[in-house]
Chain A
Amino acid sequence: MGVFYELANPERFERIAKPLQPALTAIAVLLGGAGLYYALFNSPADYQQGDTVRIMYVHVPAAWMALFCYSVMAFSSAAGFIWKHPLADVSAKVTAPIGAVFTALALFTGSLWGKPMWGAWWAWDARLTSVLILFFLYLGYIAIWESIDDKARAARLAAIVAIVGFVNIPIIKFSVDWWNSLHQPASVFRDGGPTIDGSMLRPLFLMGAAYMIGFGAMLIAAIRNELMARRLQRLSEVAGRKASTVNVE
């Protein structure tokens, strides 16, 4: 926890984050470039799915990130809730739009893949439905931040929304699985090792790493943005107060 307490000071955070942001961006671009090269040119087409299997290299990591971002959001919320860590609230707030975009990307690419494979843009299959519900949970969380002006209160209330959503995600997942299942079962993280050939796993993991590190870069950029926006708002409030006192005198 020591490291996290040191980061509570925005200036210290800025000192660490400033060089980290371009470094992470560069690594993400390199990994993504290599991953795309393998995905598009240097991996076999699937014997059943043909070239459409290449959509998976964009789609699967996006779906991983959709869940990962929600976890980051919920744990940041809990940290802000329990330890009153100021950066935790900011990190929870700015993670939401990033996670929502990953979720939208997963839904969109999944739909592109579904048309040739299932013959439909959309099917009310268990995983599609639970990811769609996840997307709505993200939007609800963002809506709470948008509708409360007082930042401190918004942080506390949004944290409750995030945590309640997080404990409900397994229940939603389970209920939707019970409801209907058409999507293929998990084939990478399962007991007994992955069922995907190594030539396809390489681009998949490269893309996964690129997404993850890219998320780190975006998160740092978004936190810095938010901190600067808040400082700007404080400064303009102070300036406005000064101007009004001068007028009175």
Chain B
Amino acid sequence: MNGFLAIISRDVALGFKAGGGTVQTALFFALTALVFAIAVGPDTALLSRIAAPTLWAAALLSALVSLDRIFQADFEDGSLDVIVETADLLEGRVLAKAIAHWIAACLPLILATPVLALLLSLPAQGYWPLVLSLLVGTPALSFIGAISAAVTLSLRRAGVLIAILTAPLYAPALIFGVAAANAGASGAPNFIPSLLFLGAGTLFSMILAPLAGAAAIRFNMS
């Protein structure tokens, strides 16, 4: 358990340091929202309708571009070797890395979401469902992404390949996340079913990611 928490605190600390990626990912998130807004134009009614889907898509893209940070740096400087050698259960370490990615890359986006939602004129009743759906759904992005990051570990410049492998698997999270956020924004009180499905997907990916990720790391290190 100590190793588990140690990896989380180390990765989060590294992420928040200058050049660690957290700030860049949050900036990328804001810029994606800006790009969408500019492309759509200053039609406030249209913007307010697509605010929640836009922010979900922006969060998904931000997660995609930050995935190669989960294992790549540790693989290059050799600390992944140490982690693999000293771990009593590699699966647990992979889970810790994925959780650290969520804290360092996704949590800041969720904190920035209300401000960006304001710029995209999201209806007032939509804030809470949007933030809630991101809180429940974005861990799935980190978990599933950790699998692709582990598979492409030994490849140079794997960024695009990670995106190709991961994006199709993100479809369920995106669908249920946007469904919950949209239902909430349109004032429908029952956005709970979509949220529950989203949570189920997150829990499922939490089981799948350590197993597949640890297997991929073992094959890449052997």
Residues of chain A touching chain B, judged by Cβ–Cβ distance below 8 Å, are: 133, 136-137, 139-140, 143-144, 147-148, 153, 156-157, 160-161, 163-165, 167-168, 171-172, 174-176, 178-179
Contacts and interface: CB of A to CB of B under 8 A. Distances in A.
Nearest to B209: A164
Nearest first, the 3 A-B pairs at minimum CB distance are: A175-B172, A156-B219, A136-B168
Contacts of B175: 175-176, 178-179
Given A133-B171, A143-B161, A143-B165, A163 B212 contact: yes
A164 B147 contact: yes
A103 to B, nearest CB: 12
A143 to B, nearest CB: 6
Interface of B: 147, 151-152, 154-155, 158, 161, 164-165, 167-169, 171-172, 175-176, 179, 194, 197, 201, 204, 208, 212, 215-216, 219-220, 222
A133 B171 CA distance: 8
Given A153-B219, A178-B176, A172 B171 contact: yes
Contacts of A137: 168-169
Contacts of B167: 136
A171 B175 CA distance: 11
20 contacts: A133-B171, A136-B164, A136-B167, A136-B168, A143-B164, A147-B152, A156-B215, A160-B147, A160-B215, A160-B216, A161-B151, A164-B147, A164-B208, A168-B169, A171-B172, A171-B201, A172-B168, A172-B172, A175-B171, A178-B179
Contacts of B147: 160, 164
Given A156-B219, A160-B147, A171-B204, A178 B197 contact: yes
A134 to B, nearest CB: 8
Contact of B216 (A147, A157, A179): A157
A172 B176 CA distance: 11
Nearest to A138: B168
A140 B220 contact: no
A157 B221 CA distance: 12
Given A144-B151, A160-B151, A175-B176, 12 more contacts: A140-B165, A147-B155, A147-B161, A153-B220, A157-B219, A160-B147, A161-B165, A167-B208, A172-B171, A175-B171, A176-B175, A178-B179
A157 B219 CA distance: 7
- Of A148, A175, A179, most buried by chain B (CB within 10 Å of CB) is A175
A244 to B, nearest CB: 28
Contact of A160 (B161, B169, B201, B212): B212
A144 B197 contact: no
The interface centre, meaning the residue of B158, B164, B171, B194 with most chain A CB atoms within 10 A of its CB, is B171
B69 to A, nearest CB: 19
